[in-house]
Amino acid sequence: SAKLLIGSNVHVFSNGAAYYGGGIRIAGLEMTMSGTGSYITQNVADTGDGGGLAITGHASQPGKATVSSPGNAISNNTANRGGGVAVMANNNDDEGATLVLRSTLIGNYAHYRGGGIFAREEALSIPSRWVDAKVVADSNAHIDSNAAPNGAAVYLDYAEDAVFGDNYGASFTMTTGTINSNLSMDDGSNFTDGAILFESDGSYTSALDLTRVTMQGNHGGPLIRNDDYVVLKNVLMAANTTSSR
């Protein structure tokens, strides 16, 4: 598949898109962003998905982005869903989407869902099956100081098989990192009862797995709102504030 390599001192700054990927849209190709001094910041997909970066499959090829640039690689972007990044599987076999985060995602905002990251699986029928949307955060990644009414840090959405009614949801795995100071907040700067990490309802495939992760200083509803599969290992949850009633 095609590849996009982002080296040092590349600034994706103050761009806009009507629908997907205010800064960059990856469709059926592989992106690697690893250079020092490179960042995606202050981009907007105000009525769409992925303010900084949108990842999707296309033309029977998966979309994948690996972000490991030092510092605040993805920051201060805005979208309807996925203020920082949207990870969207497409409705065709082999057109999955994956984000590998090894950097800092900070200060992003979504008007609706997923201040830091929004991920959505896709469902296909006859036979009933799914197309994966995955988020993997490791190597001391940070998802900090993002905001949205629900899923301030991460929102894992699902798709429904139109024939059989089965739900298939996205997955999030984090190994060694932080999910700190995220805010469940609406456009009027009012705190909501939305979750910091939201896992979709009634899904067969959705999974949330945290190992050696700190969740501190977040303000919202529940820290984790899940309906299916959650694993926590060596996770510190401290000094968080709830606005739930």
Stretches where the chain sits below pLDDT 50 are none
Cβ neighbours of residue 103 closer than 8 Å, sequence gap 6 or more: 67, 68, 69, 70, 71, 72, 73, 74, 141, 142
Q: Which of 23, 50, 213 is nearest to 133 (CA)?
A: 50
What is the reported pTM? 0.96
Instruction: Kindly give, in sequence order, each residue whose CB lies less than 8 Å from that of residue 182, ignoring residues fewer than 6 positions away.
Output: 115, 116, 143, 144, 145, 146, 147, 152, 153, 196, 218, 219, 220
213/209 Cα distance (integer angstroms): 10
Could you tell me if 96 and 132 are in contact, meaning their C-beta atoms sit under 8 angstroms apart? yes
**45 vs 18, 22, 32, 172, CA distance in Å?**
6, 5, 21, 23
- Predicted pLDDT at 202: 58
User: What phi, psi does 150 have (nearest 5°)?
Assistant: -145, 140
d(CA 50, CA 19): 8
Contact 198, 156 (CB under 8 A): yes
Find out whether 152 and 194 touch, Cβ atoms under 8 Å. yes
User: Residue 43 carries which DSSP code?
Assistant: -
Instruction: Count Cβ neighbours within 10 Å for each residue of 148-165 and write b for 16 or more, e otherwise.
Output: bbbbbbbbbbbbebeeee
Q: What is the pLDDT of residue 71?
A: 94
The residues, ordered by sequence, that sit 6+ positions from 190 with a Cβ below 8 Å of its Cβ are: none
**What pLDDT digit, counting tens, does each position of 20-44 carry?**
999 999 999 999 999 999 999 999 9
The SS3 of residue 240 is coil
Residue 203 pLDDT: 63
